[in-house]
Amino acid sequence: MLQRSFLLTLFSLFWSCCTLLDGGVSDPQTHLLTFGCTPFDQFVISDLSIFNENLNATFRDLRGQIRDQSKHFGTVQEGSGGSPVYTLFQCRNYLSVADCVACFDVAAVQIRSCPAGAPGGHVVYDGCFRRYDASPFFDRPTDTFNAALCGNKTTEEATAFTSAVQKLLMNLQKETSTIPGFLAAMKTHVPNTGPTIHTFVQCTETITQSGCLNCLNVGYKNMQTCLPTSDGRAFDQGCFLRYSTTSFFPDNYQIIDVTPMDKQGSINKGAIIGGAVAGSVILALIVLAFFLWAKPPKNPKRVPGGGDTTGASKLKGPVNYSYKDLKLSTKNFNADNKLGQGGFGTVYEGTLKNGKVVAVKKLTLRHSTKVEDEFESEVKLISNVHHRNLVRLLGYCSKDNTRILVYEYMKNTSLDKFLFGKMKGFLGWEQRYDIILGTARGLAYLHEKFHICIIHRDIKSNNILLDDDFQPKIADFGLAKLLSEDKSHLSTKFAGTLGYTASEYALNGQLSEKADAYSYGVVILEIISGRKSEELNINGEAEGEFLLQKAWKLYERGRHLELVDNTLDPNDCDIEEVKKIIEIGLLCTQASPTIRPTISEVVVLLQNKGLF
C-alpha cells in the first residue's frame, strides 16, 4: 500500500509536469525535413547481401543503445565481409526516450525506401537525424544536403523580430561549440510585447569544436532565407538549428531568460549546462515515474484475471461443460450452426439451457498422451486471460479424443467478413482505426501484461472478432502450443497462416513476439486496403503483386494512399493519419525481426495522434 501511494505521488508529479510541457512530451516530432539516397556512382558495394546484413546490424545496435541505455546520440560501424557500413543517429535531447525510439523507427521506414544497393542514405526530422553510408562520415561537419526549411507565416513587427532572431542565433552559434555535448536551448522575447522566440541548436558529438562552429555558420546563413517568418530550421550533416514562436521543447528543459542579451554580451554557459542537466533529470524522473506506474505489480494476486497466478495449476478453473449439453446446444454440431472453420478447428453457434448464446469450437488436435495431460492446464491458463480486446474463454469439454472450447459469442463475427465478404464497405475510417488500435492493445496484453508471455502465432483478419460496437477481440490465442511438440521460443513447428507469417518463423521456426508484430502489420494493410494479403492482384500486368509487395512499392514511390480501400469515403479520412498508419504497418513487416517495433511501442504510436 505504501508503494502504491508513493507511485500515485510520482504519477501526480508526472501528470502535473505533462500539463506544463506544452506538447514536448509524447511527441517524436516526425515532421520530415529532408531525405536523400547516395547515388550508385559514388561508391560500389562489393557484396550487397553482406552490406545489407551489416546495415541491419548497425540499425539493431543503435536502437538498443537508445532504448536500453537511454542515449540520444550514437554511431556504429560494421565492417565484416569487406562491405562496411557506418551509421549515425541523433535525437534532439529534449525528447523522451520513448519519443526518441519512435522517431528512430519512423526514420528506419523512410531510409529503407532507398533503392536496394544504394551505398548510403540520410533523413532529417524535427526530432531526429539518421544517416548510413559505405564510407566514413562521422567527423564530417557539412555536406551537400545542407539547407533551410521555413514556415509560411510572416510575423508582425518583422524588423524587430528578424533582429531578435539574428542576435539569438549569432550568440548561440558562438557559444554552442564550447558547451559539452554541443547543444543549447533558449528563448527570448521580442521587444515591445512581441512574441517569444524558442531556439534550439545542436551539433553531432563526433565533430570537432571548430567543425561545429563551421557547420553552425553555414546553418546561420541558410536560416536568413526564413526571416521574418515565424519559424525556421537549418540542417546539415553535423548540426541542426531551429527557431519558432511556438514552443517545441519542454519549458523545464532550460530556465534561461536571455532578454538582457545585449547587456551581457554573451550567454552564461554554466546556466545553459545547468538548465539542460536539470531538465534532463526532471524528464528522467518523469519517465521513471510513468513506467513504475504502468508496470504491473509483482504481487500475483493483483494480476488481471484474479486469483493466484503463480502457476497454471493454481488458476481459477473454467467451467467444465458436458459433451451432451454442448451437442444439444449446437443441434448435434449441425452445419446450419457453423460459424467458421480454421486451423484450430470448427466453430458453431450454441445456445445453452439458460438461453445464453456461445461460440463452441471443436478443436482439431493431434492425439497423444502429452496433449491430454496438457489440455486442461493450458485451458485453465487461457481462461484467466481477461482483456476487453481478447475473446473470453468461458469453459471447455474433454471427452475421449474430443476437445471443445466454449467462448463468448460475437454477434458481428470476424473482421474478414467486413473487409472482403458481403459486408465489405460497411466499416468507416474511425471504425477501422479503432479496430487497428484495439487489436494492438490486445496483443500488447498477451505479450507483456499477463504474468507469462503468450505469443499468438496466427494473427489474421478472421481471428479478429467484432463485438456489438465493432470493437475488436482477438480469438484463438494460446492454442498454437497445443499443436506443437516443441514449445521452445527458438524453434517450434509452424502453426500460422501463410501470407501473414514472418519469414524467420515460417522458414526457420524462429518464434518471438516480433512474429506477431509482422502478422499484425499485414492485418493493418488489409484493414486499410480492403484486400486479402494472399490475393494475387494482376491489374492487367504480366505478373501480379501480393498486398505487402504492392504496399512497399507504393510507399517507395510516395503513393501509399493508392492502397486505400475505394469503399472508404475520402471526406471521412484524415489523409496524414492514414499515411502514418500505413507506415506503421510497413514498419511491423520489416524483414529483420530486431528492427520491428514491439506491439506496446505500436500502441504508443497509434495513440499519439500528434504524430499524424
The residues annotated with a catalytic role in the active site are: 458
State the burial class of residue 566 (Cβ atoms within 10 Å of its Cβ: 0-12, 13-18, 19+). Answer: exposed
Cα distances from 555 to residues 532, 558, 568, in angstroms, run 18, 5, 19
Whole-angstrom Cα distance, residue 507 to residue 570?
Answer: 40
Whole-angstrom Cα distance, residue 164 to residue 327?
Answer: 81
* φ and ψ of 65, to 5 deg: -60, -40
Q: What angle is formed at CA 229 by the lines to CA 228 and CA 231, rounded to 5 degrees? A: 120
Cell 445453452 -> residue? 352
- In the DSSP assignment, the letter for residue 346 is E
At 195, the amino acid letter reads: P
Cell 482483456 -> residue? 387
Check if the beta carbon of residue 55 is closer than 8 Å to that of residue 92: no
The pairing of strands 319-320 and 393-399 is parallel
Q: What is the dihedral of CA 519, 124, 228, 172, to 10 degrees?
A: 130
Q: Is the dihedral of CA 573, 576, 579, 584 positive or negative?
A: negative
DSSP bridge partners of 358: 350, 408
Check if the beta carbon of residue 395 is closer than 8 Å to that of residue 350: no
The alpha carbon of 245 is separated from its chain's Cα centroid by a whole number of angstroms, namely: 30
Q: What angle is formed at CA 134 by the lines to CA 131 and CA 135, rounded to 5 degrees? A: 95
